[in-house]
Amino acid sequence: MPEQSNDYRVVVFGAGGVGKSSLVLRFVKGTFRESYIPTIEDTYRQVISCNKNICTLQITDTTGSHQFPAMQRLSISKGHAFILVYSCTSRQSLEELRPIWEVIRETKGGANELASIPIMLVGNKCDETENREVSAAEGEAEAKSWGCHFMETSAKTNHNVKELFAELLNLEKNRNISLQLEKKGQLKGTRKLKEKCMVM
């Protein structure tokens, strides 16, 4: 059982070019970069509320390590929650997540322990309907087989980005965390969230 701290650590995984950094940047800074710039920054932070205290949401980007499981394990061991990103336009990128998922499963112990860890499978670039290779239903089925949650997002159109992080924190049952410290009006109650989460 990891000790309670003022940091909540989210680790983001995915193959190169699926839009990990875009998602994180969109969330942290509200920006989106059209042209692909490989990640140089490694860790981002955002202030959130946790058990009615201020706490830091720390987002660790693992770009570049996805073929090197032993090194990846070092990022995983400290993570509280995980986001596994693929691109809806690349089946390959979904398939490349499977070994990462297995590393998480191994590192985080048995099935019971794993069930309590917030993990979200995310199909990014859902705005690119013409190049789509993976349907939402397929993504959801994959998530179900891994026993984790699923969402489609677009960092470009800002679709479901904030919702992704809100939902991920919602899944954390050990403490009561939320994005409530955010600027007002960004989250309009849980109902809207649920709706968006189900949009396929």
Partner 1 sequence: MTKEDVKCLIPAGLDGKADILFGNLEEICLFHRDEFLKDMEACNFHIELVALCFTKRKDAFYKLYSQYCQNHPRSESLRELIGENNAFFQSCQMKLGHKLPLAAYLLKPIQRVTKYQLLLKDLLHYRDNEKTSQDLQEALDCMLVVLKCVNDSMHQIAITGFRGNLTEQGELLLQGSFSVWYESKKDRLLRLKPMQRHLFLYQKAILFCKKTAAHTKATYQFKQCLKMSQVGLTETVKGDSRKFELWLQGRQEVYIIQATTLEQKQSWVNEIKRVLLEQLQELRGEKIRQYSANFAKMRQATSLDTTSQSSCNRSISSDDTRSHPDEDSQASSDYSNSDDEDSFMDHHSGKSLTGKYIALADYDAVGHSEVSMKEGDPVELLKVGCAGWWYIKLAGSQSEGWVPASYLEHSGRKSSRSCQSVSSQASNNTE
User: In the set 13, 19, 24, 62, which binds partner 1 (CB under 8 A)?
Assistant: 62
Residues 141-170 that bind partner 1 (CB under 8 A): none
Q: Work out whether 78 is an interface residue with partner 1 (CB under 8 A).
A: yes
User: In the set 61, 96, 152, 167, which binds partner 1 (CB under 8 A)?
Assistant: 61
Closest separation in Å from C-beta 108 to partner 1: 8
Q: Work out whether 96 is an interface residue with partner 1 (CB under 8 A).
A: no
Q: Which CB atom, from 77 or from 145, has the smaller least distance to partner 1? A: 77
Q: Which residue has the tokens 């955002």?
A: 46
Binding mask 12-41 for partner 1 (x = CB under 8 A): ----x---------------------xxx-
User: In the set 29, 51, 92, 109, which binds partner 1 (CB under 8 A)?
Assistant: 109
C-alpha 70/C-alpha 183 separation (Å) is 39
Q: Which of 37, 57, 68, 32 shows the shortest CA–CA distance to 181?
A: 57
CA distances from 133 to 14, 36, 86, 170 (A): 16, 20, 11, 29
Q: Work out whether 42 is an interface residue with partner 1 (CB under 8 A).
A: yes
Residues 6+ apart with CB under 8 A from 68: none
Q: Which CB atom, from 86 or from 150, has the smaller least distance to partner 1? A: 86
C-alpha 61/C-alpha 6 separation (Å) is 19
C-alpha 44/C-alpha 11 separation (Å) is 10
Please answer whether residues 82 and 119 qualify as being in contact, where contact means their C-beta atoms are separated by less than 8 angstroms: yes
User: In the set 54, 106, 176, 186, which binds partner 1 (CB under 8 A)?
Assistant: 106
Give the count of residues interacting with partner 1 (CB under 8 A): 32
**Residue 178 CB: number of other CB atoms within 10 A?**
16
Can you give the binding site for partner 1, defined by CB under 8 A?
3, 5-7, 16, 38-40, 42-43, 45, 56, 58, 60-65, 67-71, 74-75, 77-78, 106-109
